[in-house]
Amino acid sequence: KHNWLMCWLYIGTFGSFIGFSAGLALLTKSQFPGVNPTAYAFLGPLVGALTRPVGGWISDRLGGARVTLWTFIGMIFAVCAVLGALRADGGAGNFPAFLGAFIVLFALTGIGNGSTFRMIPVIFLTERQRAAGKDAASQRQAVQDAGKESAAVLGFSGAIGAYGGFFIPKSFGTSLDLTGSPLAALYCFIVFYVTCVLVTWWFYARR
């Protein structure tokens, strides 16, 4: 089950990073026609890439599950800030606030990417060590088995998470086509991040 649970969480972090990297330019072009999206599109991915090691570093000290939990909570608030920026100024939108909220969102996806990456080896090592015998040989074998499983799950989760690069821009496009606004897609992202908070807390952070 941990394989699929971590795939879900990795879509929320790595998938969001990839998806918003493509979606930011789309949103900027559709919501702020007077702004050149190519002038700012690189900022979010740059920030997300820079904060990824920070997520791993913090996770080594505080625990990956705890960092991931608070990252998803932060992402919910960041998406709410994006919504507020789009509705500002009588519905015309506030671009500086919009861009700032997205930069924060990208920073959090980077941190979450690092923290979920740290969670996977710990989860499988803990599971294997619990199932193994108490003797030293069994524990050594548990470490080896956990390493193999973790490597496989990391690769699989990365592949699944990459689908965020399709789903997020597609969600924005569908929302714009059906409603003329990206708000519906953003509300759906909030619901998804709430499920990520619940999964992280129930299976990992509350222990």
Query: How far apart, in Å, are the Cα atoms of 189 and each of 82, 87, 154, 163?
Result: 12, 17, 23, 14
Terminal C-alpha separation, the chain: 17
Q: What is the pTM of this model?
A: 0.91
Q: Classify domain 2-205 at the CATH superfamily level.
A: MFS general substrate transporter like domains (1.20.1250.20)
Band of residue 90 on the pLDDT scale cut at 50, 70, 90: low
Whole-number pLDDT of residue 10 = 94
pLDDT, average across residues 176-200: 96
- Domain locations in the chain as residue ranges: 2-205
Check whether 91 has a pLDDT greater than 80: no
